[in-house]
DNA sequence: ATTTCTAGTTACTAAAAGGTTACTACTATT
DNA sequence: AATAGTAGTAACCTTTTAGTAACTAGAAAT
């Protein structure tokens, strides 16, 4: 997701510029307070391809919202977790989840099939 | 934004399926409690083209989140406003805006330039 | 000797999203 | 007689996003 020109400094526009992609909020929410490996994230989000997951993780890392820890083991082990900055998004994710649990949201999701 | 396969019924994934596009949250937030004309929306969001705005409004209308009222006048006048269903998203937009107003968000927005 | 396990990367292709320009209809104003 | 004003639409083109399949390393287990 490209940067959105924001001359009026709209805070919603700003948020969408930063985490407005399709997957970023889902990844942030999956991580929550946990530390998860690449493969585990892939399992939790079966609809994302490993290429896209890899890209999204890199972007989130560049934004300093997540931290990547590589262990010198074989087979490789890499863990991802939210930084303090990333954790500041959790209350927002909680609201997103709250709306997603509403009857209306469930109904609209069905309509999209 | 296409429907995201959601076998574990993740509520965040569901929300992203429905309003996860780049522009939908911004439009919903712009509308707020007001009724706005097409041209006014275009002014408030200078970075969106009229083609894309037109498409997004149609999608939001199909989701029953906004209502379109056409006045029989010349030059044409059309107003858009949130339905009751659409208004249920306002608390969430409030949280989005809250995070967008944070120091961190402003810093990250600058970094994207 | 082969398979498994992990976390990716690379190359290629397909699909979706987005942008640009020009155009319409009708009235009122200059 | 020409221009402005509104809410789009149509055709065309470019950019971005996404998906697939094949491949890597090195140790451990079969």
Domains of chain B: 11-112 (1.10.10.10)
Percent of chain B with pLDDT over 70: 99
Three-class secondary structure of residue A78 per DSSP: strand
Strand D bases, protein C-beta under 7 A: 5-11, 16-22, 25-27
The residue whose two tokens read 């930084």 is: A83
B21 or A61: which carries more pLDDT confidence? A61
Question: Which of B21, B105, B107 is the best residue to mutate to test the A interface, defined by the most A CB atoms within 10 Å of its own CB?
Answer: B105
A80 or A22: which carries more pLDDT confidence? A80
**Within 7 Å: CB of A38 and strand C?**
yes
Mean per-residue pLDDT, B80-109: 97
Task: Round the average pLDDT of chain B to a whole number and report it.
Answer: 94
Mean per-residue pLDDT, B97-113: 94
Using the predicted structure, report yes or no on whether residue B2 has a pLDDT greater than 80. no
Using the predicted structure, report yes or no on whether residue A95 has a pLDDT greater than 90. yes
Residue B47 and residue A85: Cβ atoms within 8 Å?
no
Q: What are residue A68's DSSP bridge partners?
A: A80
pLDDT at A74: 81
Distance CA A47, CA A31 (A): 16
Main-chain dihedrals φ then ψ at residue B37, nearest 5 degrees: -85, 160
In 3-state terms, chain A is what percent helix, strand and coil (to 5)?
55, 10, 35
pLDDT digits (tens, 9 = 90+) for A7-59: 999 999 999 999 988 899 999 999 999 999 999 999 999 999 999 999 999 99
Distance CA A78, CA A70 (A): 4
A98 or B75: which carries more pLDDT confidence? A98
Phi-psi region of B8 (alpha: psi -120 to 50; beta: other; left: phi over 0): alpha
Q: What are residue B82's DSSP bridge partners?
A: B66
Distance CA A27, CA A34 (A): 12
Residue of A nearest to B44 (CA): A8
Task: Round the average pLDDT of chain A to a whole number and report it.
Answer: 94
Distance CA B22, CA A24 (A): 12
Percent of chain A with pLDDT over 70: 99
pLDDT at B1: 57
Residues of A in contact with B5 (CB under 8 A): 46-47
pLDDT at B21: 84
A2 or B44: which carries more pLDDT confidence? B44
Strand C bases, protein C-beta under 7 A: 5-11, 16-22, 25-27
Residue B89 and residue A111: Cβ atoms within 8 Å?
no
pLDDT at A1: 60
Residues of A in contact with B8 (CB under 8 A): 44
Beta strands per DSSP E along A3-107: 36-37, 66-71, 77-82
Sign of CA dihedral B92, B103, B34, B78: negative
pLDDT at A57: 96
């Amino acid at each position: 997701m490209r940067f959105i020109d924001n001359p009026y400094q709209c805070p919603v526009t700003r948020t969408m510029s930063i985490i407005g992609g399709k997957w970023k909020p889902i990844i942030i929410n999956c991580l929550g307070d946990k530390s998860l490996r690449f493969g585990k994230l892939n399992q939790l989000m079966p609809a994302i391809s490993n290429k896209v997951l890899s890209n999204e993780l890199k972007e989130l890392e560049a934004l300093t919202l997540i931290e990547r820890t590589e262990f010198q083991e074989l087979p490789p082990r890499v863990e991802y977790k939210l930084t303090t900055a990333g954790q500041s998004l959790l209350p927002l994710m909680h609201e997103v989840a709250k709306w997603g649990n509403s009857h209306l949201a469930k109904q609209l999701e069905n309509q999209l099939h």
